[in-house]
A and B are shown apart, each in its own frame.
Chain A
């Protein structure tokens, strides 16, 4: 028991006192249908968990949202606690589980909202500075590229097809077209910057 309490202090940073017995007693009463004891248990639990969550989340609104989810989870899982073992490891297991779920969802949302660099490139304005390259010099260098890359560049930049349409026309997949175009740009840049 001492070891469990020590581990909790180490891992969760929360103040673990000898209230475990109180929690267990309240839960025992709650499981037998005492609504007042149950409300008291949930209040005490939310007091216990708030610092744990506040340490790991940036905004108090997030703490509140997650705390509500955890309380609902405790409600759903209250039959899995038997009052024989300590209450806090049980409740922290649920809290940690919901926190991980929350953080996973939060970061996957951020990834969904993230803007792809390719899209960003398309929306940027064209170069406004003068370049040293003439149309003739670019055109000459393009002709020296492998035939497939020339065809891809011609279709994309002279005839205005998208990478997807070019892929369909040439029987390639879209990413292969993008890769070929990217390699061609790289070669052209190196040659023209010399």
Chain B
């Protein structure tokens, strides 16, 4: 008991004024803003797919891009909430990525059914995963750096969501850059690796976000 009193006195003496952290919605808007700016720069450097305007008129492609943007938004909000010990008392909203992924799944399923006869598979394969990873590296580093400033009590989930957020930037970039209509290829080399990286984030979260 005496130790606790001493500790409290010590902590109180150390306590300087602190600025309360911004609201998680503000944080997530800021993170999304950075991600969008990064995406625009990446697309400006690498170039847009030549048939982008035509493709955006196809409902399935437009829905896929919208779902990916939804994943980016939902994971940003969720990551911001998970940075707070009590999830800013908005636990339900932390599950927003589940809804976003649930929206992407039927889009992929319908696109897969509509892919008849199947579009030719591109000659490359893992290169797409590699490109997405390379593009996602900077957003991943940035979001982990930003989240470390707070105090996550769910570091496994926070790590997963942070990586999903970063990889959704990469996936979005590649869909807007690469001229590729094979949904099988996109699922195999774009979206499944994204899930794998999400799982890797579970482990990475513990390493980086533990405090």
Contact = CB atoms under 8 A, between A and B. Distances in A.
Q: Interface of chain B, helix or strand or loop or mixed?
A: loop
A15 interface: no
B20 A93 contact: no
Given A31-B18, A39-B12, A89 B89 contact: yes
Contacts of A35: 12-13, 15
A82 interface: yes
A38 interface: yes
Interface stretch (A69-77, A135-143, A157-165, A184-192): A69-77
Given A80-B151, A82-B23, A86-B89, A33 B16 contact: yes
B21 A79 contact: yes
A67 B4 contact: yes
In the complex, which range does the number of interface residues on chain A fall in? 35 or more
Nearest to A1: B89
A38 B85 contact: no
Q: Interface of chain A, helix or strand or loop or mixed?
A: helix
Interface string B1-34: 1011101110111111111110100000000000
Nearest to B18: A79
B211 interface: yes
Nearest to A89: B86
Interface string B156-198: 0000000000000000000000000000000000000000000
B86 to A, nearest CB: 4
B186 to A, nearest CB: 38
Given A31-B17, A33-B15, A78-B18, A68 B151 contact: no
Contacts of B15: 30, 33, 35, 38, 75, 78
Contact of B85 (A36, A43, A83, A90): A90
B88 interface: yes
A64 B4 contact: yes
A142 B19 CA distance: 78
B144 interface: no
Contacts of B202: none
14 contacts: A32-B17, A35-B12, A42-B11, A42-B12, A64-B4, A72-B7, A73-B151, A80-B84, A81-B20, A86-B89, A90-B89, A93-B153, A94-B85, A94-B153
